[in-house]
Structure 1
Amino acid sequence: MTTRWRGVMAGAAAVGLVVVPLGAGSAGALDARPGASSAVAAATPAADGFPKLTPAVAAELDAAVREVMTRARVPGVIVALSAPGKGEYVRAFGVADKASGAPMTPGLNMRIGSETKTFTVTALLRLVDEGKVGLDDPVGKYVAGVPNGDRITLRELADMRSGLFNYSADEGFFKALTGDPERSFTPQQLLAYAFRHPVNFAPGAEFEYCNTNTVLLGLVVEKASGSTLADYITDHVVKPAGLKHTVFPAGAEFPAPHAHGYTNQTADGKTADATDWNPSWGWAAGAMISDLPDLRTWAKTLATGTLLTPATQAQRLKVSAAGDLPDTGYGLGIFNVEGWIGHNGSLPGYQSLTVYLPQSQATMVVLLNTDIAHEGAEPSALFGEAITKIVTPQHVFRLPAQPEPAT
């Protein structure tokens, strides 16, 4: 529920790297015409590899999004693509509320899951630039009681190489969350689920996407700044980035208007409405809320490092192999998949994908109201792949499906 990285890595709860889907509906800067010619023909040669977002291209994107939506049974999705001089594609498909049939629209607030990590790590890097923390400081300097805390560095936490156990994969945690999805968790309670397990490997030895890492970084931000994590992110990341509707909630509050979210991350495996579930269990790793306009702004801010010094942004972008994911690397709270830089998110009821392609200065944002996998694949990843096959065939966003457990 709080994080998976190949669609938010594995774990009972997810909040992680995922790609986002599109759905069936309308509303956007481009109108698709039924009789439009093939987008493939209309899209060709662009020096930067990104086509003009003509009505023909929009029609092909519409069809691709609807196909994924039908195949993966996604209730609703919002998609936006843009690049300088190429136009915009902004669409909302499907429904925001299955009970009322209210349509999905581009202006809805959405839970963004592990995209929260990009804000938490940016907050940490702002403190690095202020000289208040060092990336190679041991986490034990700021947080007591961490296994290997004298050896695990803040850098290793941010790039998912600490070796600590992922609390959201703990059976006790899963039972506690699904037994009472509206309960509140403290960061210390989350860490207790992780620290009852032995470490998985020595610091720096491997890549393993893990919510425990980012919760610890949230505590480091609080210790070094003297502020709550929510306040520091709001004052030093959200506001300087010019974001208007991005919030770090204290509990289950969810600004209106918002989409309802649907999940099968339940005690009995049945689909449920998770709209009002308390995201405190994700905290620094997955609790935040945003909307399409803010995430379109954030995609470029994150990838180009406008809130950081050039030296710190250069360190952030030094991605290294993310396990067995081909052509994919993970850096300091950021990934690079075939040139697309950003992060995805997944938690019960919602998935998101916010990425930027520097070569074309292109932005892609996908927001959907389900986290239910399709044949082991995150629906957000399916959308990301389908969209980029059309607009950037040399840079296809791919995250592999994970095998589903035998039943």
Structure 2
Amino acid sequence: MRRTPSRRLVAAVLLAASVLAPMAAIPATAAPATAAPATGTARHDKAGPTPDGLGPELAARLDRTIEEVREQAGIPGVVVGLWMPGVGSYVRATGVADTATGRPMSAGASVRIGSETKTFTVTALLELVDDGRIGLDDPISDYVRGVPNGHRITLRHLAEMRSGLFPYTSDPDFTHDLLSDPERTFTPRETLAYGFRHPNTFAPGTRFQYCNSNLVLLGLVIEKVSGHRLADFIHERVLDPAHLHHTLFPTGSEFPAPHPHGYTDQTLSGGTADTTYWNPSWAWAAGAMISNLHDLRRWAPIVATGKLLSPETQRQRLKTLPTGFPGTSYGLGIFRTNGWTGHNGSIPGYETVTVYLPSKRATLVIMINTDIQYEGQEPSTLLARAITTVATPDNIYDKDSAISPRA
């Protein structure tokens, strides 16, 4: 939705890696997401390259680059982590977590990760494939009734974003209902119903279309086959084995401290609102999760290399297909863009990028507390592109894509 809620719900880095939501009425006290002073913390080596820090010249260039993008795009607060074996590491927190109080952004904060949730949901699904309990080419109609053309849409189509289902986030009634009451709890079946009232947009497997309905259906499959709530299954089979102790699947609007306030213009009025405690239930398996820098750093290589999956299942996951956006392809709940593998996320008030570069064993994590676009582009994408232009010029994130997320 950009200006018009339904247009912002796709999104992503290049292809719609967000999960997105429309947003609610702006509280009278909400402060605008204007750029704030660089009052955060920077950690890098001041003397020269070491195993723990980048050299001072590269670190200084990154400092300047991040501040330039933050100020230009009006991002309140930014957290960046970059780890490059043999080169060094860089962690930077700058700007503010709360525009009303000026509280500085913290590298230890938790944020809502939006569509990065998809990497966890699809990993859980693929573990059921490894268990022999489901097959990727099973039709969704075997597990969930009432899906339009469900006998022809497979679990693979859903995970690849090639189902042809109409995205529920593009339904005007959904947008109105969500924006009118952002604290409302939606059930998975309620959100799907908004999309199922529309005809499918194309035949399964013939095109790429970012669609959160796909992931909600996969969440229902996981629950039916496992016999557990999705949040519990992900916790037991994904988060615990990966040692992600600061990542969670919330049941409502709960948000562990410390966390920054989030700011969006996805509102009925078009004004800026504080989304910190908006209920992400509408996004569920497609985008409701919360994490922090430490856990996302661990998760990037795990999901990119398939540590929790069999080699064959990981090969299936990484069979990425064209998206229609230059330089970007999409696999099973994961994308590739100019060498980087992972996902990004956008939910009203927050955006993230978590990607891994196999050729350099490098990890990049970005967390910001706004989803307000700048000149039609996601602010997290602007940061990722600028950072990789400096740090990995042969592998620039989203280098050739002109997509405006949330189309």
Q: Normalization by structure 2: what TM-score? A: 0.90
> Residues 392 and 171 of structure 1: is their aligned pair in 2 closer, same or farther, counting only changes over 3 Å?
same
Partner of 1:30: 44
How far the C-alpha of 1:96 sits from its partner, in A, is 0.3
How far the C-alpha of 1:354 sits from its partner, in A, is 0.0
In structure 1, C-alpha distance between the alignment counterparts of 2:388 and 2:36, rounded to whole Å: 12
Partner of 1:4: 11
Q: Could you tell me which amino acid in structure 2 is paired with residue 5 of structure 1?
A: A
Q: 2:208 aligns to what SS in structure 1?
A: coil
Q: 2:81 aligns to what SS in structure 1?
A: strand
Within 5 Å, which residues of 2 pair with 1:27-176? Answer: 27-31=41-45, 53-176=54-177
Moved more, 361-370 or 22-31: 22-31
In structure 2, C-alpha distance between the alignment counterparts of 1:288 and 1:90, rounded to whole Å: 23
Alignment root-mean-square deviation, CA: 2.2
How far the C-alpha of 1:394 sits from its partner, in A, is 1.0
How far the C-alpha of 1:32 sits from its partner, in A, is 6.3
Partner of 1:250: 251
Q: Normalization by structure 1: what TM-score? A: 0.90
Q: 1:236 aligns to what SS in structure 2?
A: helix
In structure 2, C-alpha distance between the alignment counterparts of 1:2 and 1:99, rounded to whole Å: 27
In structure 2, C-alpha distance between the alignment counterparts of 1:109 and 1:134, rounded to whole Å: 35
How far the C-alpha of 1:339 sits from its partner, in A, is 0.6
Q: Tell me if the contact between 2:36 and 2:71 (Cα under 8 Å) persists in the aligned partners.
A: no
Measured against aligned partners, the alpha-carbon deviations of 1:158-198 in whole angstroms (never above 9, x if no partner) come to: 00000001111111011001100000000000000000000
How far the C-alpha of 1:24 sits from its partner, in A, is 3.3
In structure 1, C-alpha distance between the alignment counterparts of 2:10 and 2:250, rounded to whole Å: 17
* Runs of at least 5 residues in structure 2 that lack an aligned partner in the other structure: 1-7, 23-34
Q: Tell me if the contact between 1:129 and 1:312 (Cα under 8 Å) persists in the aligned partners.
A: yes
In structure 2, C-alpha distance between the alignment counterparts of 1:349 and 1:391, rounded to whole Å: 27
Percent pairwise identity: 57
Q: Tell me if the contact between 1:95 and 1:102 (Cα under 8 Å) persists in the aligned partners.
A: yes
Q: Tell me if the contact between 1:22 and 1:366 (Cα under 8 Å) persists in the aligned partners.
A: no
Partner of 2:327: 327
Within 5 Å, which residues of 2 pair with 1:303-318? Answer: 303-318=304-319
Q: Tell me if the contact between 1:23 and 1:65 (Cα under 8 Å) persists in the aligned partners.
A: no
In structure 2, C-alpha distance between the alignment counterparts of 1:10 and 1:317, rounded to whole Å: 16
Q: 1:174 aligns to what SS in structure 2?
A: helix
Partner of 1:184: 185
How far the C-alpha of 1:86 sits from its partner, in A, is 1.6
In structure 2, C-alpha distance between the alignment counterparts of 1:305 and 1:10, rounded to whole Å: 20
In structure 1, C-alpha distance between the alignment counterparts of 2:257 and 2:403, rounded to whole Å: 33
> Residues 32 and 259 of structure 1: is their aligned pair in 2 closer, same or farther, counting only changes over 3 Å?
farther
Partner of 2:30: none
In structure 2, C-alpha distance between the alignment counterparts of 1:174 and 1:11, rounded to whole Å: 16
Q: Tell me if the contact between 2:10 and 2:405 (Cα under 8 Å) persists in the aligned partners.
A: no
> Residues 89 and 314 of structure 1: is their aligned pair in 2 closer, same or farther, counting only changes over 3 Å?
same
Measured against aligned partners, the alpha-carbon deviations of 1:17-45 in whole angstroms (never above 9, x if no partner) come to: xxxx9993443430569xx9xxxxx9xxx
Partner of 1:39: none
> Residues 85 and 403 of structure 1: is their aligned pair in 2 closer, same or farther, counting only changes over 3 Å?
closer
In structure 2, C-alpha distance between the alignment counterparts of 1:198 and 1:3, rounded to whole Å: 18
* Runs of at least 5 residues in structure 1 that lack an aligned partner in the other structure: 16-20, 37-41, 43-51
In structure 2, C-alpha distance between the alignment counterparts of 1:261 and 1:361, rounded to whole Å: 31
Q: Could you tell me which amino acid in structure 1 is paired with residue 145 of structure 2?
A: A
Q: Tell me if the contact between 1:2 and 1:285 (Cα under 8 Å) persists in the aligned partners.
A: no
> Residues 155 and 3 of structure 1: is their aligned pair in 2 closer, same or farther, counting only changes over 3 Å?
same
Q: Could you tell me which amino acid in structure 1 is paired with residue 65 of structure 2?
A: A
In structure 1, C-alpha distance between the alignment counterparts of 2:20 and 2:165, rounded to whole Å: 16
Q: 2:43 aligns to what SS in structure 1?
A: coil
Within 5 Å, which residues of 2 pair with 1:220-235? Answer: 220-235=221-236
Aligned counterpart in structure 1 of residue 404 of structure 2, from 389, 402, 405: 402
In structure 2, C-alpha distance between the alignment counterparts of 1:163 and 1:377, rounded to whole Å: 25
> Residues 232 and 389 of structure 1: is their aligned pair in 2 closer, same or farther, counting only changes over 3 Å?
same
In structure 2, C-alpha distance between the alignment counterparts of 1:389 and 1:133, rounded to whole Å: 41
Q: Tell me if the contact between 2:18 and 2:347 (Cα under 8 Å) persists in the aligned partners.
A: no
Please state if 1:372 is matched with 2:379.
Answer: no
Q: Could you tell me which amino acid in structure 1 is paired with residue 402 of structure 2?
A: P
Q: Could you tell me which amino acid in structure 1 is paired with residue 306 of structure 2?
A: G
> Residues 258 and 142 of structure 1: is their aligned pair in 2 closer, same or farther, counting only changes over 3 Å?
same
Q: Could you tell me which amino acid in structure 1 is paired with residue 16 of structure 2?
A: M
How far the C-alpha of 1:85 sits from its partner, in A, is 2.1
Q: Could you tell me which amino acid in structure 1 is paired with residue 320 of structure 2?
A: V
Q: Could you tell me which amino acid in structure 1 is paired with residue 234 of structure 2?
A: I
> Residues 192 and 296 of structure 1: is their aligned pair in 2 closer, same or farther, counting only changes over 3 Å?
same
Measured against aligned partners, the alpha-carbon deviations of 1:381-406 in whole angstroms (never above 9, x if no partner) come to: 0000000001111111014242999x
In structure 1, C-alpha distance between the alignment counterparts of 2:246 and 2:292, rounded to whole Å: 6
Partner of 1:264: 265
Instruction: Count the aligned residue pairs.
Output: 383
Measured against aligned partners, the alpha-carbon deviations of 1:286-339 in whole angstroms (never above 9, x if no partner) come to: 00000000000000100010000000001101101012x111100000000001
Q: Tell me if the contact between 1:2 and 1:281 (Cα under 8 Å) persists in the aligned partners.
A: no
